[in-house]
Chain A
Amino acid sequence: MKKEEYLDLYQEMVVIRRLEERAAELYQQGKIGGFLHLYIGQEAVSAGISSVRQPQDRLITAYRDHGWALSAGIDAKTIMAELLGKKDGCSLGKGGSMHMADTEKNFWGGHAIVGAHIPIAAGLALGDVYQGNNDAVTICMFGDGATNIGFFHEGLNLSKVWNLPVLWVCENNQYGMGTAVDRASAVSEIRQKAEGYGMPNERIEGMDVMHVRTEVDRILKKIRKDGGPYMLEIMTYRYSGHSMGDPERYRDKEEVKRWEEEDPIGIFRKYLVGNEIATEDELDQQDAEAENVVEEAVAFAEASPEPTVEDLFEDIYVEPTPVEYRGYALENESEGR
């Protein structure tokens, strides 16, 4: 890796952290509505995986998706605009926090029904195999909580039966909302579930971005060479509650503190300085730049226009289709696009 790449990776993680912190503030000010699930603490996973993901590799994730959107290459501005529900958002303000995507960056969302995107991911991989895109791997992220729902089991089974090139990645942050893994899952090592489908699997630590990067790179190469699905469990930790309304009665503050001492940004910082890749000053400079990126994103989002009544009826269907508004047929058909 070149020095530039190390610094970019570091800045990416700091931008995610700052963007989430600012999102929390904007939520408390009432500027972001709905649910807000923060990625703070898990940055090494999205940054590490995305640093070795190839452009042909499709990426799909669940609702804790802001970090993934950034790592996939979506501009912080359009992410923040989406959080504020504005017209310049990556989903035109219609998706919100849980539904961010950019198909040109091969990032397929942002899905809010727990586990529902897992069979869809199998289909993305099927699409590549069918069309002879033999070098592509679909990377499907989900939480530990999603491995207890039927979709997970149907999706994993199908991927093995059809030998689809999917890297199934469980981001095990140890709680499905407020329920600890061992209170909800018959096995506490999630990777074991892949055994039932005859699928190679392993568990790795997820707080060190370089470790995540190295391990995922190795596994992606293996899938590209051997084909078929693979399940990876990555141990991580979210510092914030499940969402903004989480009273966090299910874990004590000491536990959160212990994990914060293993902070992914702190670990990477120590690595960069310790290996004389960058100086503290250079990293402080990256922090300042990240701060700017996020502040510019907030300013952009605040200035972005509200969607209009025309936008309300846009994109219901691809093909022109009659639309109705409050019981009346509208004169213009939805244009589609």
Chain B
Amino acid sequence: MARITMREAISKALWEEMERDERVFIQGEEVGVWGGTYAVTKGFYDHFGKKRVRDTPIAEAAIVGSAIGAALTGLRPVAELMTINFAFVAMDHIVNEAAKLHYMFGGQFKLPLVIRAVSGGGRQLGATHSQTPDAIFAHFPGLKVVSPGTPADAKGLLKAAIRSDDPVLFIENATLYQTKGEVPDDEDYLEPLGKSKVQREGDDVTIVAYSKMVPAALKAAEMLSEDGIESQVIDLRSLRPLDMDPIIDSFKKTNRAVIAEEGWRSYGVGSEVSARIYELAFDYVDAPVKRVAQAEVPLPYNATLEQMALPQVEDIYHAAKEVIHG
């Protein structure tokens, strides 16, 4: 175990997998000579060389499309999109090609492909560069969508994604890159794709979160604990496949749930999870499920307005109080 940042955990996962398997390579804008716009691939170009650390033109359809082609030949590309907002210009290749080729050709095509992208707001980048559109990508069968909330999961899940034979969209959050945590040193440390994880035990309320909302939910849980309320915090980690088992187990005990996401509420992750709670555990419902999410506005540049729109620890805290006290 070592206490490292989420950025270091992601970097280590990439480094170790590239050392382990010659077929793994990375490509994207400024991943090479520059060292990655978020410095995740710093030092990679010098160590692995230009064949395996490939700077690309600013052309996302070419980045994802050519990664798909390379994956079809048996390589294991990790394509980096500088931010998930640029995934929209590669949307066809993500949802129409990566998600469908295996099924559509009767299982002949295999795509051991990872697409890394940075999601989330809070850095005053304005409406087009601050979105959290994760749920959109989780809509499509055939794609796996993973988003870690802790440094350890970032390493274990990214390594598992690279070793997976399925296409995985791996969503990171830039405001979590400096978060520190204990991360196993083991080069074969893997976390399973498609499994939620209990991050905190509690009997009074279930708080479901992922990515940036995991540390927020854990902070809210500490505040609630001071009020005598014990929260069970469940980290989705994977949006597709969606593992409801730990959530339903928890809900049957707490009978109350709050779902926190950074993206918009409408048609979002909270919508899906709460619908499933009602479908799978209706008899256990003691209070309406609460969703904590971003205000439904294009995110503004102004720092005060931006923070007003983004979900905060206090929102989770108050939502939990409401599901308990009405």
Binding site for A on B (CB under 8 A): 25, 51, 54, 56-57, 59, 61-62, 64-75, 77, 92-93, 96-97, 101-110, 141-142, 144, 164-166, 194, 241, 279
Question: Which of B25, B96, B105, B141 makes the CB contact (< 8 A) with A116?
Answer: B96
What B residues does A116 contact at CB under 8 A? 61, 65, 92-93, 96-97
CA distance A113 to B67 in the complex (A): 17
A157 and B109 contact, CB distance less than 8 A: no
A109 at interface, CB cutoff 8 A:
yes
Q: Which residues on the B side are within 8 Å of A125 (C-beta)? A: 69
Inter-subunit contact B57/A90 (CB<8 Å)? no
Q: Is A321 an interface residue (CB 8 A)?
A: yes
Interface stretch among A4-12, A96-104, A200-208, A289-297? A96-104
B258 to chain A, nearest CB (A): 24
Decide: A154 near B59, CB < 8 A? Known: A89-B106, A99-B104, A316-B103.
yes
- Verify B106–A94 contact, CB threshold 8 A: yes
Interface centre among A92, A99, A157, A316 (most CB of B within 10 A): A316
Can you list 10 A-B pairs with a CB-CB distance of less than 8 A? Answer: A99-B104, A108-B72, A119-B61, A123-B67, A123-B68, A150-B61, A158-B66, A315-B102, A317-B102, A322-B241
Report the Cα distance A319→B69, complex, angstroms: 20
The reply to whether B142 and A317 form a contact with Cβ atoms under 8 Å apart is yes
Q: Which of B62, B69, B107 contacts A157 (CB 8 A)?
A: B62
In the bound complex, what is the Cα–Cα distance between A5 and B136 (angstroms)? 52
Report the Cα distance A91→B107, complex, angstroms: 8
List residues of chain A with CB within 8 A of the CB of B68. 119-120, 123
Whether B70 lies near A94 (C-beta < 8 A) is no
Using A119-B65, A123-B65, A158-B56 as known contacts, say yes or no to A315 and B70 having CB atoms under 8 A apart. no
Residues of A contacting B51 with CB < 8 Å? 130
> Which residues of B are found within 8 Å of A150, using beta-carbon distances?
61
Task: Verify A103–B109 contact, CB threshold 8 A.
Answer: yes
Given A130-B70, A131-B74, A158-B56, 19 further pairs, Cβ under 8 A? A58-B73, A99-B104, A103-B72, A109-B109, A113-B92, A116-B92, A119-B69, A122-B66, A123-B68, A123-B72, A124-B70, A150-B61, A154-B62, A155-B62, A157-B59, A158-B57, A315-B106, A321-B194, A322-B194
Given the known A-B contacts A116-B93, A151-B61, are A318 and B70 also in contact in the complex, defined by CB atoms under 8 Å? no
Most buried by A among B67, B103, B141, B166: B103
Bound together, the chains give a CA A215 to CA B312 distance in angstroms of 66
Q: Which single residue of chain B is at the shortest CB-CB distance from A104?
A: B108
B96 touches A318 (CB 8 A): no
Known: A118-B65, A123-B66, A123-B70. A158 touches B106 (CB 8 A): no
Report A71-108 CB contacts with B as 1/0, cut-off 8 Å: 00000000000000000011111110001011100001
How many Å from the CB of B68 to the closest CB on chain A? 5
B106 touches A123 (CB 8 A): no
Sort A-B residue pairs by CB-CB distance and give the 5 closest, nearest first: A123-B69, A119-B65, A127-B73, A92-B106, A123-B66
A120 near B194 with CB under 8 A, answer: no
Contacts of A124 in B (CB 8 A): 69-70, 72-73
Provide the residues of chain B in CB contact with A126, threshold 8 Å.
66, 69-70, 73
For residue A121, CB closer than 8 A to chain B, the reply is yes
A116-B92, A123-B67 known; A319 and B166 CB under 8 Å?
A: yes
> Quick check: A317 and B71 within 8 Å, CB to CB?
no
A337 on the B face (CB < 8 A): yes
Q: Are B70 and A154 in touch, CB under 8 angstroms?
A: no
Interface pair B57/A154, CB less than 8 Å apart: yes
Name the residue of chain B whose CB is nearest to the CB of A318: B165
Interface residues of A (CB under 8 A from B): 58, 89-95, 99, 101-103, 108-111, 113, 116, 118-128, 130-131, 150-151, 154-155, 157-158, 161-162, 314-319, 321-322, 327, 337
Q: A123-B68, A130-B25 known; A95 and B62 CB under 8 Å?
A: no
Question: Please, which residues of chain B bring their CB within 8 A of the CB of A154?
Answer: 57, 59, 61-62, 65
Tell me how far the C-beta of B45 lies from the nearest C-beta in chain A, rounded to whole angstroms.
Answer: 16
Q: Is the CB of B66 within 8 A of A119?
A: yes
Q: Is the CB of A127 within 8 A of B69?
A: yes
C-alpha gap A315/B62 in the complex (Å): 26
Q: Which residue of B lies closest to A155 (CB)?
A: B62
With both beta carbons as reference points, the residue of chain B lying nearest to A108 in the complex is identified as B72
Q: Which among B69, B75, B101, B104 is the interface contact of A122 at CB below 8 angstroms?
A: B69
B105, A109: Cβ atoms closer than 8 Å = yes
Chain B residues whose CB sits within 8 angstroms of the CB of A120 once the complex forms = 65-66, 68-69, 72, 93, 97
Do residues A95 and B57 form an inter-chain contact, with CB atoms below 8 A?
Answer: no
Residues in A with CB closer than 8 Å to B64 are 119
Q: Which A residue's beta carbon lies closest to that of B97?
A: A116
- Kindly report which residue of chain A lies nearest to residue B52, judged by CB atoms: A130
Partner of A91 from B54, B73, B106 at Cβ < 8 Å: B106
Which residue of chain B is the closest to A156 with respect to CB atoms? B62
Q: How far is the CA of A194 from the CA of B77 in the complex (A)?
A: 28
Question: How many angstroms from the CA of A269 to the CA of B281 in the assembled complex?
Answer: 72
Q: Return the chain B residue nearest A123 by Cβ.
A: B69
Contact partner, B107, options A92, A128, A131, Cβ 8 Å: A92
Contact of A131 among B75, B109, B142 (CB under 8 A): B75
A337 touches which one: B97, B104, B107, B144 (CB < 8 A)?
B107
Is there an interface contact between B279 and A327, defined as CB atoms closer than 8 Å? Answer: yes
Contacts of A337 in B (CB 8 A): 107
CA distance A2 to B128 in the complex (A): 62
